Structure 1
């Protein structure tokens, strides 16, 4: 089937968010975490891939995680601090939390420290993005690395190929990589 003429003019370069969530879930399961949660910034359908992958990894390991373990702090409608206060009792029931971004993970670690909790001694925390600060935080953050530079290069390359009327891939899914650092511990 030929793509429509509109689709011939579009290229989507995206990160495999489902696989990223799955890799964190597999990692948590491999170090014996069973009572886990994901901290997310919205519940929009197009952004649930990380949650679905995370949850599926546990299902593949015979562990059920229900929707109540998907903590959503929508920063469009509530301050992150308020959301963390709201979820704090539920967070303290968990052994590990996967955050939808390194920013959320680093803010969570700071919040937990302010409440006398130590990462990873009291709770393991992982993020997503592998931003610069994840390498210099204390503890250094376990995360999913996505290659933003490669994403930009692929987009520019595709655009240049289209300008020159050369064939392009219209859907380019880029890989992710699990980066294990000190913010998670084995149980």
Structure 2
């Protein structure tokens, strides 16, 4: 891949990465030989000279699912575009909360969403049909929650009266869509600040001050996209 050549040829002292696919960080670490700080990754904890900065993804999804269950929902799905890395951790949190409540939270209830390709419209049509089997959907991001919310409302489904939807991230538009999204808030600026701070400590020869793993807290934000129901 072209970015490999750029990274290995640029005269950089260190690197902060985000969004790399599985295996790419290992490839770079073997050849780059300089400090790397990795944001939002679960596949690189054992690499030398690397620091991970991420969220309490599993815990946050667990708490959100517990909240939705506490609102009376029992038929709850999980939606993401994949089941790897941080989305997998969020799915595990959903599964844990469902299992503790004696509910089914297996991959049978994992809804896959696609975006940015020719199959997007067919996928949204499929999700519309599947949505009738549930009263709530836990989404792995605000982006996908908003996609689902808009697609279902365009076809006449009433949110949250007929289906509750939650997001993750609390991006700016999470409070602007209607209904406003109940979601998990993360501090993206703090994540970037911590990543740079850890890298600087390594570059300045203070590795003992740089934690190999930094897990940042999240906070649940309750808005209007989850309805309390009486489950029968």
- Taking structure 1 as the reference length, what is the TM-score of the superposition? 0.90
SS state of the match for residue 148, structure 2?
A: helix
Higher relative contact order (CA 8 A, sep 6+): 1
For structure 1, which segment, 59-68 or 39-48, has the greater mean C-alpha deviation from structure 2 after superposition? Answer: 39-48
Structure 2 Cα separation of the partners of residues 176 and 53 of structure 1: 14
Cα 1:141–1:95, aligned 2, differ >3 Å: closer, same or farther? same
Q: After the TM superposition, which parts of structure 1 deviate over 3 Å for at least 4 consecutive aligned residues? A: 5-8, 74-80
1:173 corresponds to which residue?
215
Structure 2 Cα separation of the partners of residues 153 and 82 of structure 1: 40
Structure 1 residue 77, shift from structure 2 partner? 6.7
Query: Is the contact between residue 166 and residue 181 of structure 2 (CA under 8 Å) also seen in structure 1?
Result: yes
2:80 corresponds to which residue?
40
Q: Alignment partner for residue 110 of structure 2, among 49, 70, 76?
A: 70
SS state of the match for residue 97, structure 2?
A: helix
Q: Where in structure 2 are the equivalents of 1:96-135 lying within 5 Å?
A: 96-135=136-175
Check if 1:14 corresponds to 2:57.
Answer: no
Query: Bigger radius of gyration, 1 or 2?
Result: 2
SS state of the match for residue 71, structure 1?
A: strand
Q: Alignment partner for residue 153 of structure 1, among 181, 193, 213?
A: 193
Query: Is the contact between residue 94 and residue 105 of structure 2 (CA under 8 Å) also seen in structure 1?
Result: no
Which runs of no fewer than 5 residues in structure 2 stay unpaired? 1-32, 36-46
Structure 2 Cα separation of the partners of residues 46 and 185 of structure 1: 27
- Taking structure 2 as the reference length, what is the TM-score of the superposition? 0.74
Structure 2 Cα separation of the partners of residues 33 and 78 of structure 1: 33
Structure 1 Cα separation of the partners of residues 86 and 140 of structure 2: 13
Structure 2 Cα separation of the partners of residues 112 and 177 of structure 1: 27
Q: What is the root-mean-square deviation of aligned Cα atoms in Å?
A: 1.9
For structure 1, which segment, 80-89 or 160-169, has the greater mean C-alpha deviation from structure 2 after superposition? Answer: 80-89
Which runs of no fewer than 5 residues in structure 1 stay unpaired? none
1:54 corresponds to which residue?
94
Structure 2 Cα separation of the partners of residues 179 and 47 of structure 1: 19
SS state of the match for residue 38, structure 1?
A: strand
Cα 1:79–1:23, aligned 2, differ >3 Å: closer, same or farther? farther
1:29 corresponds to which residue?
69
Structure 1 Cα separation of the partners of residues 115 and 150 of structure 2: 17
Structure 1 residue 74, shift from structure 2 partner? 4.2
